[in-house]
Amino acid sequence: MNVRTQESYCIKCGKKMPEDVHERLENRKIVNKNWYFPMAVLGFILLLAGSYYIFLQHQTSEAQKLYQQAEESAVEHDYVKADEYLTSALDHDQSFSQADVALRFVQTAKDIEATMEEAAEHMEEQEFQDALSLINEAENNLSHYNGDAVTPLINTLTTKRSTIKLEQLKHKLDQDPDINELKTLLWDADAIQTDDAADITATIRSRIIDYTFSQASEQLNDNQFSDALLLVEDGLKYTPESEKLQSLKTTIEKEKTAFETAQRQRIEQAISTAEKERELNENDAIELVTADVERDDQGDIVIKGNVKSVATIPINSILVTYTLSINGEELLTNDVYVYPDTLYPGDDGEFEFTHFDIEQPREDISIEVDKIKWYTDQQ
């Protein structure tokens, strides 16, 4: 059997090549062809991964835009829109933790709006403590959040609390509180930083001044100087700028000194005082200008008047004695001090006293000044 062997020649030099070289070349061609498929698969995977990356970037970008829109809506208290934007943002990117936190805040904010409506209903029913408890609870629910959207909501809750406290304060004032309750209400009113609260604060202070002045004057008229001074000093704690109480305090201190001196020199001082009072009354050192009866906003009778000094020397501790009558029948007699305590020649002074227990119509009440008493520095 004749067997022919295929011979191979080198292309470049034309020399005959060994038979095993030709076999190796053929095997190399087969190996190169086997690499095409894995490379194609790898390229497809890379293309797919790149496309998915681009898709995720797009989703993240859209989620960020929706988050910003939600943030703007929340700042404007439009929590329904904010809820929609954030829900959509999480649909685009479920791993968006900021959106998840913001969505919980928005849901809390919606609950707080409902809570404020419920608090308003309690306020209308004068259930003020229940209303305030709801506001406090709402604020506690916000304690875990901060940011531009949270601040306006906190401000709204603060304003709502002030409104409830103001209504509660008005309700208490309508119950005709006593002096101790008025003092407590004054601190409550001072704590509310609104114009309406400032007006109520001024009203409460005025009522404290009138009450303190009347009570202290009664103690002073009974020569209870220490009790009168304690009343005035306590009143000044709540109304430190009151010229009326400051003047009464000065009067009490001077009267106290005068009374203690009189106790040491009873007989001589009594004669001297009686003579000086007679001489001064004869000289008409004080001229009565006006004396009127009014009724204030609380329905109490207020005595107001003016005097003028026609003396040539300073006079002080001016005491006005007046009588109130109803249709000619004497109702009561009372003493009240003029302020300021000292009047110089030509000066005007005022006196005022509030009667809390007179129920008769103001038009039926008349006033008559019976006597005006005063002292000079020479006494």
Domain ranges of the chain: 50-175, 177-264, 285-379
Per residue in 75-100, pLDDT tens?
A: 666 666 766 676 766 666 665 666 66
Say if strands 315-326 and 365-376 run parallel, antiparallel, or are unpaired.
antiparallel
- Other CB atoms within a 10 A radius of the CB of residue 347 amount to 14
Q: Is the pLDDT of residue 37 over 70?
A: no
Distance CA 224, CA 218 (A): 9
Provide the token pair at 110: 């919606």
Hey, what CATH topology would domain 50-175 get? Answer: 1.25.40
User: Could you check whether 50-175 and 285-379 share the same CATH topology?
Assistant: no
Q: Residue 288: which pLDDT band, with cuts at 50, 70 and 90?
A: very high
**What integer pLDDT is reported at residue 231 of this predicted model?**
93
Output 92 or 303, whichever has higher pLDDT.
Answer: 303
Q: What is the pTM of this model?
A: 0.47
Helices (H), 225-327: 225-238, 243-264, 266-283
How far from 135 is each of 74, 142, 157, 173, 326, CA to CA, in Å? 20, 11, 7, 23, 53
Amino acid in the structure at residue 191: A
- Residue showing tokens 């005007």: 348
Closest CA to 200 of 150, 160, 163, 243: 163
Peptide bond preceding 177 in cis form (omega within 30 of 0): no
Residue with the bigger pLDDT between 266 and 352: it is 352
Label residue 56 by pLDDT band (50, 70, 90): very low
Assign domain 285-379 to its CATH architecture: Sandwich (2.60)
- Quote the pLDDT of residue 260: 86
Q: Is there a contact between 245 and 212 (Cβ–Cβ < 8 Å)?
A: yes
